[in-house]
Amino acid sequence: MSRIIEYPNSKKVNVISLMFKQMRPKQWTKNILIYAALVFSIDTIESKMIWQSTIGFILFCLISSCVYILNDYLDIEADRNHPIKKSRPMASGLLNPNLAISVGVILLISSITIAFISNLIFGVILIIYFLLNVSYSISLKHVVIIDVMIIATGFVLRALGGGVIINVGITPWFLICTMLISLFLAISKRRHEFILSLEKNSSHRKVLQFYNLSLLDQMNSIVTTATIISYSLFTFTSGRSINLMWTIPLVVYGIFRYIYLLHVEGKGGSPDKLLFEDKHILITVFLYGLLVMIILKYF
């Protein structure tokens, strides 16, 4: 039976529920990228590959939760003064920080152990991902430009890990496309945060003081152009069906739609949330995945 804590305001708090919330399961959608290698291997897929990809997905979820726990532990005082983050389990005082760290250590050791048992190289990738994100949480998130590049690198490691764990090759163009689209999303998020900081005349991110709107727009213009060109080259040179070029319009529309939401509707603060909230992007992603599988399977 899970432990129940009684507080002066007579509310009963379930520790397991709080710990699960602290692990930020809503952020696990980012790890779906693990399955990208599986999708692009649809013509040679085996049942064990689905199982291996799922293991990789779970391990990345666990290791990312470890990072979230550490990050919230380090930022607990700052989060208590933040209008939204103050409701997080540790910042609100509902979850004992020492308990959270202990659970985080257990998850870290368990996930890395299982990763090395499953695939040695995948285990190395998982460790690199963890160390990179710890560095980000401690200091690199305050370094202009480096901050968004670290975020993008995390997605590249996910994509690479997805290929390694099922033993399929990942083309350089695919990794470049992953890096660029991730940079686009990260820069867009910084732009959204920068606009909000101007409106509220305050910011919870120190790094925003080193950015300005012109710089962020210029960076996004470069990245979006490079993304479309790189993806187009990927479809022509991937060594797979040249019919993948028919997915280019969907990629272009998805990027343009996101830019519209960013500039016109003022969204973009949470890319993973926006993916499921905007039906246009959701349908585009679905059609893209479906089209890729059909092309690689039958053409």
**CATH number of the domain where residue 161 is located:** 1.10.357.140
Final residue before a domain boundary, out of 145, 167, 189: 167
Segments forming the whole domain that contains residue 183? 171-299
pLDDT at position 53 is 95
Is residue 179 located within the same domain as residue 235? Answer: yes
Is residue 116 located within the same domain as residue 228? Answer: no
Residue 87 lies in a domain: yes
Q: What percent of the chain has pLDDT over 90?
A: 57
Is residue 175 located within the same domain as residue 157? Answer: no
Residue 8 lies in a domain: no
pLDDT digits (tens, 9 = 90+) for 159-180: 999 999 999 888 889 999 999 9
Residue 3 lies in a domain: no
CB 44 within 8 A of CB 35: no
**Does the structure show a pLDDT above 90 at 261?**
yes
Q: What is the mean pLDDT of residues 244-248?
A: 93
**What does the H/E/C string look like for the chain?**
CCCEEECCCCCEEEHHHHHHHHCCHHHHHHHHHHHHHHHCCHHHCCHHHHHHHHHHHHHHHHHHHHHHHHHHHHCHHHHHCCCCHHHCCCCCCCCCHHHHHHHHHHHHHHHHHHHHHHCHHHHHHHHHHHHHHHHHHHCHHHCCCHHHHHHHHHHHHHHHHHHHHCCCCCCHHHHHHHHHHHHHHHHHHHHHHHHHHHHHCCCCCHHHHHCCHHHHHHHHHHHHHHHHHHHHHHHHHCCCCHHHHHHHHHHHHHHHHHHHHHHCCCCCCCHHHHHHHCHHHHHHHHHHHHHHHHHHHHC
For residues 283 and 2, the model is more confident at: 283
Q: What is the mean pLDDT of residues 129-158?
A: 94
pLDDT digits (tens, 9 = 90+) for 9-62: 434 468 888 899 899 898 899 999 999 999 888 877 888 999 999 999 999 999
Residue 46 lies in a domain: yes
Residue 5 lies in a domain: no
Is residue 107 located within the same domain as residue 34? Answer: yes
Residue 6 lies in a domain: no
Q: What is the mean pLDDT of residues 180-209?
A: 86
Joined together, the tokens standing for residue 15 give 């520790």
Is residue 126 located within the same domain as residue 77? Answer: yes
Number of domains in the chain: 2
pLDDT at position 203 is 65
CB 175 within 8 A of CB 158: no
Final residue before a domain boundary, out of 126, 141, 167: 167
Is residue 68 located within the same domain as residue 150? Answer: yes
Is residue 152 located within the same domain as residue 188? Answer: no
**Does the structure show a pLDDT above 50 at 211?**
yes
Joined together, the tokens standing for residue 238 give 């991937």
Quickly state the pLDDT bin for 240 (edges 50, 70, 90): low
Residue 7 lies in a domain: no
Q: What percent of the chain has pLDDT over 70?
A: 92
CB 102 within 8 A of CB 36: no
Is residue 20 located within the same domain as residue 105? Answer: yes
pLDDT at position 202 is 65
Joined together, the tokens standing for residue 49 give 């590959």
Q: CA-to-CA distance for 57 and 28, rounded, in angstroms?
A: 9
Is residue 142 located within the same domain as residue 244? Answer: no
Final residue before a domain boundary, out of 167, 188, 207: 167
Rounded to the nearest integer, the mean pLDDT of the chain is: 88
Is residue 212 located within the same domain as residue 77? Answer: no
Other beta carbons within 10 angstroms of residue 227's beta carbon come to 22
Is residue 22 located within the same domain as residue 142? Answer: yes
pLDDT at position 10 is 32
Q: Which pTM was predicted?
A: 0.88
pLDDT at position 13 is 60
Is residue 61 located within the same domain as residue 77? Answer: yes
**Does the structure show a pLDDT above 60 at 65?**
yes
Hey, what amino acid is at 45?
I
Q: CA-to-CA distance for 104 and 294, rounded, in angstroms?
A: 41
Residue 244 lies in a domain: yes
